[in-house]
Every structure is written in structure tokens, then in C-alpha cells.
């Protein structure tokens, strides 16, 4: 069975079509998983940037807290006086700065120059603080950035009340070396974004300027609730193609397998439809279809006044096939007229004697297009004549799922009425599923015309 299926798939005339379907299936799956992967990757990237920005803000707040704590502790020593650079005071400074990992040094300033510090001890000569890159005044002091203490030594510091707190050069170093954040960048500044204190990462200049950033560069901001401090963090979103090769291979594999699955399902569905169509045509040709008769009750007294003939199909291999499947299938295959002829022929031959004996009518569903068919008209009128069917025994129930112009059918209807045929319009809308509808508690109403 498998070999026959493969032969059909690769047979001449089909392999080009099958190759096109396979290519389209793989392409569709690839696009779907690419978009899905990019979306997931962006959400992960966004969360990483947000966490990175928040971490930089927390580190900046900690730096301010430690700076203020060191300054306060350094100034609290009782023996500072006019000559602060005593051995006792320098030792005190070393004790003060030791617990604070974000602070490099702390020292005393005399006449605008650094006279001594915990790290350097007493300085002779003192170090000038007049050469720096940036200066930002604060409420109680001043921040100096890029202070050139010596030719090859530059530091960042905070000066207040004769105390200079030197910041560690490694305050933000871990953000530049950590494998999860080294490709991100940040700028630490104030809430108005007119003061930038620290630049972190390779793309900090993009955040340091106020014009637009590149398309794939994403920026997130976080501000402190306690200080005039904000952090702008950003990075390039490179998407799934920047991930490890194993993840890319997994995506390719999943796309190929999914595309192959879509192809198999599509071809199986097409083969099933093709096979189902062929089997229905064969069943109709061999008269392997059957009819069931559904009673129709009179509303006034609840008595049976007629029966409706409904078509059923039980396939040898597939079992019972729903009318909701084979009726649309017959329409697509252009077999509506043949189906109607089968039903009218077998319904009259099987049931007309019962209808005549019990003085009830026999209802058959037809399509509006059947009224134009000479073959249908000749068949019906021939059966009426052959069985000598009384007037009003045959009821043709017009049903069309797409709706129909019933007024435009009046000319055809009048011709049949002359032979005792009655017509009804199924107000419910579909004629082939009435047994299912009744089973679920729906009531049908026929409007006889």
C-alpha cells in the first residue's frame, strides 16, 4: 500500500506539482517558525535589556550611597583640624574606605589640592585637581570626571566639605565583561538627560547623543525613586541568527520537519478528497447509495402527513459518510442532477405505494437548478404516469444552502403543478441534514407554495 502511494506521488505529471507543494509547505513552515523565533528572541532580548538597565541603576544608587557614607565617616573624625594629614587621620581614612567596594580612595583637600588619602598617604607635593574632563555640581558638593592626578592616572571623584571620595574604576566593569551583558551599553545621567555621568559598553555614544538611533538598536530607561538619577540602556537586537549554531540548526530542523508534516497532511487531504470523489461517483453509478424516510408531522394534530426521502451513503471502507461531506462534494463534481435523479427514482419506486395507501405525501429535496433540467422533468413526469400517482402526493422541497431566487422559479413551478406536483420551501435552509437537526431538537417548518 505504501509503495503504491509513493508511486502515485512520484508519477510523471504529479512530481512537479508535489515538489511545488513540498516547497511551499517548507517555506510556509520556515516563515512561521522564523517569525515565531524572532518574536520570542525579541521578548527575551527586551527582558534582558530591562534587567540590565535596572541593574546599572541599582549599582549607580549603591555608588551614591557608598560615596555619601564614606564622606560622612571621613569628616566625622574629631582630630581633623587645620592639619588633617596626620598618620592617625590617614589610618582612620583607611578604616573608613575598607568596607566599601565601589570606593577606591578617600582623602583630604587643602587649598583646592589633594593633600593626603587612604591610598596615597601624605602627598608631597600635593596633587592639583584643576585638570578634569567634566564637572557637575550637586547639592552639597561637586562631581569631577576624568581628574588627571598624574600623566597616566585619571580618576572620577566627589568633592564636598574638604573631602574627596575617589570612585573605583571597576564600578561598572562587570557589565562590560559579563557574557550576558557585554554587548549592551548604558549611560548614567540625571532625569533631564542633560548630564551624563558614566558611559558603559561599546555603544554608549549612541545613547549619549540625543538624535535618532539605528533601527535595530533598542533603548530602555529606568529612573531612581530616591535620587535625580536615570539610566538609559540599549543594545542591538540581532535576532535568532546571532544565537549559537545549535539553536539555528534546531530551528532549521523543526522547520523542515514541520514543512514535511504540512506537506503530508496536505497531500493526504487532497488524496482523500480525490479518493472520496471517485468513490462517490462509483457509488452513484453502481447505485450503492440508500434512502431513509423521515416522517413529517402536521402541526395542528401531530399526525404524520408525509415522509421525506433523505440520501445516505455507507462506503465499504470508510463507513458512513455524512451528507454534510458528500452533498458539497457532489456539487463540486457537478453531480447534483444525477443525485436528484437517483433520489427521485428510488424514492418513488420504494415508497410511493405506501404513500398512496396511507394518503400521505412523499417529499424529495431538489435544487433550484433541477427545475431547469429536461432530464429531471421527463424522469419525474414519466414516473408519475407509470405509477399513476395521485395529485398532491409528490412534494418537491426546494433547498439551496446558498439561498435562491424562489420568485424567479414560479414559471417552472406552475408547469409541474399542472401534473399534481406540490412544492415547498424549506425555511430552515438545508435539506440534507434534517435528521441531524431533529436529533438535536430543532424543528423544521415547511412553507408549501
DSSP 165-222: EEEPTTTTHHHHHSTTTTT-EEEEE-TTSS-EEEEESTTHHHHHSSSPPPTTEEEEEE
Give the residue among 142, 156, 219, 139 at the shortest CA–CA distance from 184: 219
pLDDT over 70 (residue 393)? yes
Q: Look at residue 259 in the predicted model and tell me its pLDDT.
A: 73
Looking at the chain, the whole-number percentage of residues with pLDDT higher than 90 is 37
Residues 6+ apart with CB under 8 A from 393: 352, 355, 356, 361, 362, 420
- What was the pLDDT predicted at 143? 93
Split at pLDDT 50, 70, 90, the class of 78 is low
Q: What pLDDT sits at residue 81?
A: 62
Q: Which residue, 85, 103, 111, is CA-closest to 166?
A: 103
Over 50: is that where the pLDDT of 102 sits?
yes
- Indicate whether this model's pTM tops 0.85: no
Which residues partner with 231 through β-bridges? 188, 222
CB 103 within 8 A of CB 166: yes
Residue 141 · residue 160 · CB < 8 Å: yes
Mind listing the pLDDT tens digit for each residue in 272-293?
656 777 888 888 888 889 999 9
188: DSSP letter: E
Average pLDDT along the chain? 82
CA distance 148 to 129: 7
The Cα–Cα gap between 123 and 139 comes to 29
Residue-wise pLDDT tens digits, 2-13: 454 445 544 545
Domains and CATH numbers, the chain: 9-262 (no CATH), 278-448 (3.20.20.450)
Cell of residue 379, nine digits: 424522469
Query: What pLDDT sits at residue 211?
Result: 58
- Where residue 383 falls among pLDDT bands split at 50, 70, 90? very high
Nearest to 344 by CA among 299, 311, 301, 298: 311
How far is CA 439 from each of CA 81, 435, 443, rounded to the nearest angstrom? 103, 6, 10
Mean pLDDT of 314-319: 82
Contact between residue 231 and residue 204 where contact means Cβ atoms under 8 Å apart:
no
Query: How much helix, strand and coil, in percent to the nearest 5, is found in the chain?
Result: 45, 25, 30
Indicate the burial class of 113 (C-beta count within 10 angstroms; 0-12, 13-18, 19 or more). Answer: middle
Model pLDDT, residue 438:
39
- Report the C-alpha dihedral over residues 194, 199, 200, 206, rounded to 10 degrees: 70
- Whether 431 shows a pLDDT value over 70: the answer reads no
CA distance 100 to 7: 78
Cell 545613547 sits on residue: 207
Q: Are 255 and 26 in contact (CB under 8 A)?
A: yes
Q: How far apart are CA 262 and CA 436, in angstroms?
A: 32
pLDDT band at 34 (very low <50, low <70, confident <90, very high): confident
pLDDT grade for 441, boundaries at 50, 70 and 90: very low
**Residue 434: pLDDT band by 50, 70, 90 thresholds?**
very low
> Which residues, other chains included, contact 112 with Cβ-Cβ below 8 Å and sequence gap of 6+?
128, 129, 130
**What is the percent of the chain where pLDDT is above 70?**
83
Q: Which of 70-84, 114-128, 201-215, 418-432 has the lowest mean pLDDT?
A: 418-432
Amino acid at each position: 500500500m505504501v509503495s503504491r502511494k509513493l508511486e502515485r506521488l512520484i508519477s510523471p505529471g504529479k512530481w512537479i506539482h508535489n515538489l511545488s507543494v513540498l516547497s511551499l509547505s517548507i517555506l510556509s513552515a520556515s516563515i512561521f517558525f522564523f517569525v515565531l523565533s524572532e518574536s520570542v528572541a525579541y521578548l527575551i532580548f527586551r527582558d534582558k535589556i530591562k534587567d540590565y538597565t535596572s541593574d546599572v541603576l541599582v549599582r549607580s544608587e549603591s555608588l551614591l550611597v557608598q560615596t555619601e557614607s564614606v564622606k560622612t565617616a571621613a569628616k566625622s573624625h574629631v582630630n581633623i583640624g587645620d592639619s588633617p594629614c596626620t598618620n592617625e587621620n590617614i589610618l582612620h581614612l583607611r578604616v573608613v574606605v575598607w568596607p566599601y567596594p565601589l570606593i577606591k580612595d578617600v582623602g583630604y583637600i587643602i587649598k583646592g589640592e589633594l593633600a593626603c588619602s587612604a591610598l596615597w598617604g601624605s602627598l608631597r607635593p600635593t596633587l592639583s585637581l584643576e585638570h578634569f574632563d567634566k564637572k557637575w555640581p550637586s547639592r552639597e558638593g561637586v562631581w569631577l570626571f576624568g581628574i588627571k592626578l598624574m600623566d597616566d592616572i585619571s580618576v572620577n571623584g566627589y568633592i564636598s566639605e574638604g573631602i574627596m571620595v575617589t570612585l573605583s574604576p571597576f564600578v561598572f566593569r562587570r557589565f562590560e565583561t559579563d557574557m550576558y551583558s557585554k554587548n549592551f551599553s548604558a549611560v548614567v545621567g540625571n532625569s533631564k538627560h542633560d548630564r551624563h555621568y558614566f558611559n558603559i559598553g561599546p555603544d554608549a555614544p549612541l545613547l549619549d547623543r540625543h538624535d535618532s538611533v539605528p533601527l535595530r538598536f533598542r533603548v530602555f530607561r529606568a529612573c531612581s525613586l530616591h535620587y535625580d538619577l536615570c539610566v538609559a540602556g540599549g543594545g542591538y537586537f540581532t535576532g535568532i541568527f546571532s544565537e549559537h549554531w545549535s539553536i539555528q540548526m534546531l530551528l532549521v530542523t523543526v522547520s523542515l520537519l514541520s514543512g514535511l508534516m504540512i506537506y503530508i497532511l496536505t497531500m493526504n487531504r487532497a488524496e482523500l478528497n480525490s479518493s472520496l470523489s471517485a468513490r462517490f461517483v462509483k457509488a452513484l453509478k453502481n447505485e450503492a447509495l440508500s434512502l431513509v424516510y423521515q416522517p413529517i408531522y402536521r402541526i395542528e394534530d401531530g399526525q404524520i402527513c408525509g415522509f421525506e426521502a433523505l440520501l445516505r451513503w455507507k462506503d465499504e471502507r470508510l463507513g458512513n459518510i455524512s451528507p454534510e461531506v458528500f452533498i458539497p462534494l457532489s456539487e463540486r463534481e457537478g453531480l447534483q442532477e444525477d443525485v436528484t435523479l437517483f433520489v427521485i427514482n428510488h424514492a418513488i419506486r420504494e415508497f410511493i405505494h405506501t404513500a398512496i395507501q396511507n394518503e400521505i405525501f412523499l417529499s424529495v429535496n431538489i435544487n433550484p437548478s433541477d427545475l431547469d433540467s429536461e432530464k429531471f422533468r421527463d424522469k419525474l413526469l414519466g414516473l408519475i404516469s407509470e405509477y399513476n400517482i395521485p395529485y398532491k402526493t409528490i412534494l418537491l422541497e426546494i433547498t439551496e444552502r446558498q439561498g435562491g431566487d424562489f420568485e424567479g422559479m414560479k414559471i417552472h413551478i406552475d408547469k409541474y403543478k399542472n401534473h399534481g406536483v406540490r412544492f415547498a420551501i424549506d425555511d430552515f435552509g438545508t435539506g440534507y441534514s434534517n435528521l441531524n437537526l431533529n436529533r438535536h431538537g430543532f424543528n423544521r417548518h415547511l412553507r408549501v407554495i
